[in-house]
Structure formats: C-alpha cells, structure tokens
Amino acid sequence: MDASRLKRIRQEERKRNRSVPAKFRKVMAVLCAVILSAAFLMFSVDLVRAKQKKLPPMFCISVMEYPNGSEDYYGLFYKVWKDHDPFENETKYYVGFWFIPKNFSI
C-alpha cells in the first residue's frame, strides 16, 4: 500500500469517526459569537449608563433590594451594584462580573 493511499484512508476514517458534523460546529460557533456579542453590547451600554450618566442599568434585572435603598442588578455575565447613601443623599454605581466581589469594581 503506498503512503498517499494510506493517508487518504486514515482521513476518511477520521471523518467517519467524528461525533459532531462540521455544519453543526459552525452553527454552534456562530451562535456563541452572537451571544457573546450581545453580552458585550449590553455590558458596554450598562457600563456607560452606570459610570458616566449615573443612571440605573437598562439590560439588568433587579435581584435584591436593601433597606437603605441600595440594589443589586444582574445582567448577562455581569452585575451592577447601586449603593445609596441616605445621609449624603448620594447614589453610586459599581459594575463587575458575577464572580468578582463587591469591593472590586471596573
């Protein structure tokens, strides 16, 4: 058996043994890219609203409210904290990812 024929047979065997077809992998790659793009867009809009304009986030869900007026918002792969100081009547927003603690902000 010559080397080129053996190589071709091995390639065909690899193609048959693949558990996930190439078309399915492409569709999954496009789907992941769309989800990550949407998450980045939502994160950037909420970051601008919270940091520059001092407004509540647009694409987050309010998860927890505290008695002093502070709130926790959760979005797609990120979270926003609204810290309200009733004595100074001041509200600050902090943005971070789900796994980052509150005392660390971006």
Q: Kindly state the tokens that stand for 53.
A: 């304009």
Q: What is the pLDDT along the chain (106 residues), one digit of tens a residue?
A: 688 888 898 888 887 777 778 899 899 999 999 999 999 999 999 999 998 999 999 999 999 999 988 999 999 989 999 998 888 888 999 888 888 776 665 5
Task: Give the up-direction half-sphere exposure of residue 92: CA atoms within 13 A in the CB hemisphere.
Answer: 8
3-state DSSP call for residue 61?
strand
C-alpha 82/C-alpha 55 separation (Å) is 10
Whether the predicted model's global pTM rises above the 0.75 cut: no
C-alpha 29/C-alpha 90 separation (Å) is 44
